[in-house]
Amino acid sequence: MAEIHPDAIHSLLNAVHGAPFDLLGPHQVSENQVSIRAFRPTARNLAVVDESSGESHDMNCLHNEGFFEITLNGQNLKYHYKAETHEGKKETFHDPYAFPPLFTDYDLYLFAEGRHLHIYEKMGAHLREANGVKGVNFSVWAPNAYRVGVIGSFNGWDTRVHPMRQHGANGVWELFIPEAKEGDIYKFDIRSRFRDYHVEKTDPYGYFSEKRPRTASIVSNLDSYRWRDKKWMDARANSNPLTKPMSIYEVHLGSWRRNENNEWLTYRELAQELVAYAKEMHYTHLELLPIAEHPFDGSWGYQVTGYFAPTSRYGDKAVDFMYFVDLCHRNGIGVILDWVPAHFPKDGHALSYFDGTHVYEHSDYRQGEHPDWGTYIFNYGRNEVRNFLLSNALFWLKKYHIDGLRVDAVSSMIYLDFSRKEGQWIPNKYGGRENLEAISFLQEFNAVVHSECPGVITIAEESTAWPMVSRPTYLGGLGFTFKWNMGWMHDVLSYMSRNPIFRRFHHHEITFSLMYAFSENFVLSLSHDEVVHGKGSLVNKMSGDWWQKFASLRLLYGHQYMHPGKKLNFMGSEIGQWNEWSEARSLDWNLLNWATHAKMQQWVKDVNQFYLEQPALYELDFDPRGFRWIEANDSDQSVFTYMRFAENPDDFLVVACNFTPVPRHNYRVGVPRPGYYKEMLNSDAETYGGGNVGNLGGVQTDPVAWHAHPQSLNLTIPPLGIVILKWQK
C-alpha cells in the first residue's frame, strides 16, 4: 500500500487539491496489486465490487469525513462501489476517477490554436458512455485556476466531491461523472491561483440553464430531437440569398404576444401562433432578438450570459426551441438570430473574471470595458476566446439549423475609440483606431460560416462608412452577406417626420440612398431601435393628423419595398401601434378591432405578397441594372418616380411616390415601352384606408416623349401615396 501524506488528504477534504487523479481512483502499486481510493462524505461504509468476479471488498476508512482506501490483487480491475449512507440508504455507483479522459491531444491542440470549430461537442456537459458506463462528461476552460470542481444536484452541491483533471498548461479541466444524467443541474466551482479568488460559475458552453433569477446550467441532450426540415436545409445549401426575396419580421419573443395571464408564450406555443402569423403576412424570415440566455429582461437579450443556451424563459428544454425552428422551416420561413459577440455583462456567475483573471475580456479597461453599456469586451486576440465565439456561431447554425446571424454592434468592435474620448483608448500597433484583432475575427467568422454552412447569411449592424462590409474576405472585405442600411433608415425617417411643406428643401434625404445603394449588399431596416427610448412608435414619427400618419406609413412601407435592398420591419409597426415598444408587455393586438389599423395590416400583407411575386424587386437588388430613376429632381412637388427591373429587361415596374397630402393629377411619367400599364398596388385604395384616388386600374401610354423615353403615362398620384404599375405585354 502506497503511503498517502496527511496534507494530501487534508487538501482533498478542504477542496483545495488541484490534481485529484494523483490521489483518487485506481493506482497500480506493484505488478499485481492496485490501490483504490475514494472520497464519499455521505458514506458510512464503502465497498469495492469486482465486476469480473462479483466479489465485494470492504474499504478502509482513513478519515471520518469519508476518505476510503483498499489494496487488491490484480491489474486493470473493472469495478464499482457499493455504499451505505449515514442514513442507512444503499447506493451503487462507478468511480469517476477510474475513467480515462475523453479529450484527445488533438482536441487540446486545436483549441489552443483557436481552430477547434466544433469545440461545443467537447466543452460543457455531454451525455456519454465510457467503457460501457453511462454518465456525463464535464469540461471547462479555466487556465488560471489551481482547482476546478463540478457541483450539482448529483453531489448535493458539495464542492469537495468532484474535483476535475487539468490537461497540462492549456487550462482545460475535465471529469466524467458516471450516473449523472440529463436534467441534472450543475455549476463549476473555481479556485484561482490569484488573490484567493473562489467562485461558482455557470458553464460557458452549457446547453440550457435554469430560469432567471436562478443561474445554474442544466445537462441537456440536443441529439434527442428528430428534425423534419431536410427539404428546407437541402434547398438552403443550394440557394443564393442575394437574388432571393427577403422580407424579415423582427421579433422579441417575450412581447410579441402573451397569454391571458400576461405570461410568456412557450417556444412550442410560439411555433404555432407566430409561425402561422408570419406565413399569413407573407414574411420570408423571422429575425429574433437574442434568445441566448440572459439575466435581465430589460437588456432584450443583448447582454448574454449563456451563449450556447436558448433562454429558459420560453421552454423547459433546449429542444423546444428546435421545434420552433423546425416548424418555421416546414412552413417556408427562415430564422435569423441576433448574435452578440461584441460584449458581455459583468454578472458574477458568468464569463466575467472567470478564473480570477480576465480570461474572456481584456484586462485594461481602455480595451476591456464598454463605456456605454457597462459591459466587458471580448479579447479577440486570444485564440481560445476566438474559438469560443466561432464555435458558438456554428453551434446555432448546425445544431439549431439557424439560417442566419445578424451581428450586433459591429461598429463598436472594429473601432478602438468607439464612444471613447482621447486618452481613453489604446491605439493599434500602427497607431490607428482600427481594432485589428476584431477585424480579423469578423473576417474569420464570415469565412468559416460561409464555408461550413452554404446558403446561410450573416448581417452586420454597422453604422459607419466602413468600406466593403459585405464584400468577400479575399478582396479585403469583412465578408458579411448583408449590411443594415442605417443611412437610409435615418434619412427616410427624418424626411417622413417633416411637415410636407418643408420636404422640398430636404429632397436629398430620399434620393441620397441611391448614390451608394450598390456599394454594399444592404438590408433596409426599420428595427426595434427606432421605437424605443422615447423615440416613439413608427406611426407616431409620421407628420400630420391621424389620416396623414397612416397614409404616410403606408407610403413609407411601399417605398421601402420598392427600393433596392432586402427588407426588415419590427413587430407591431405593421398594425400601426401607437405605443412605444416595451419588452414587458404584449403588442397592442386589440388595435385590430379598429378598421384603420386592420387596413394598415392588410397593406403590409399585400405589399409582402406582391414583393414575393415580382422578380424585379429582388433579382437585381445589388446590381445597378435593377434600378433607374425616371424623375429624381421634382423637389417642388415632392414626387419621386423610378423603375425596378428583373434579369429579364421586359419585366419591370414603374413606381410613383407622392410625399405631399396634395393629389397630383395629370402627372406625366416617361416609360420605355408602349402599351398598357396595369396599376398593381395603390396605397390610397379604400381597402387600405385611403380615399381611392388612383388610375382606375391602369393607364395606356401616350406617344409623347418624356423623361428621355419615347412613351409616357399620364398618372394620378394619390396624396401621401404610392402607386406601382407594370407593363403588360
Q: Show which residues are catalytic.
A: 408, 461
How many DSSP H helices and E strands does the chain contain?
Answer: 15, 37
- Kindly write down the DSSP assignment for every residue of 518-576, as one continuous string: TSS-EEEEE-GGGGSTT---HHHHS-SSHHHHHHHHHHHHHHHHHSSSEEEEETTGGGT
**Which residues are bridge partners to 85 per DSSP?**
43
- The span from the CA of 412 to the CA of 371, in Å, is 10
606 neighbors 554 (Cβ within 8 angstroms)? no
Question: Which residue in this structure is represented by grid cell 450543475?
Answer: 186
Q: What angle do CA 365, 366, 370 make, to 5 degrees?
A: 75
Closest CA to 381 of 435, 448, 451: 435
User: How is residue 621 written as a grid cell?
Assistant: 437588388
Q: Which residues contact 616 (CB under 8 A, 6 or more apart)?
A: 626, 644, 645, 646, 651, 652, 653
CA distance 290 to 276: 21
Closest CA to 312 of 202, 453, 389: 202
Residue with cell 461584441: 342
Pairing relationship of beta strands 292-293 and 306-310 according to DSSP bridges: antiparallel
Q: CB pairs under 8 A, 24+ apart, for 678-682?
A: 678/725, 678/726, 678/728, 679/723, 679/724, 679/725, 680/610, 680/653, 680/724, 680/725, 680/726, 681/558, 681/606, 681/607, 681/610, 681/722, 681/723, 681/724, 682/718, 682/721, 682/722, 682/723, 682/724
3-class SS of residue 30: strand
Q: Residue 113: enclosing H or E segment and its boundaries?
A: helix 105-113
CA dihedral sign, ordered 152, 156, 159, 162: negative
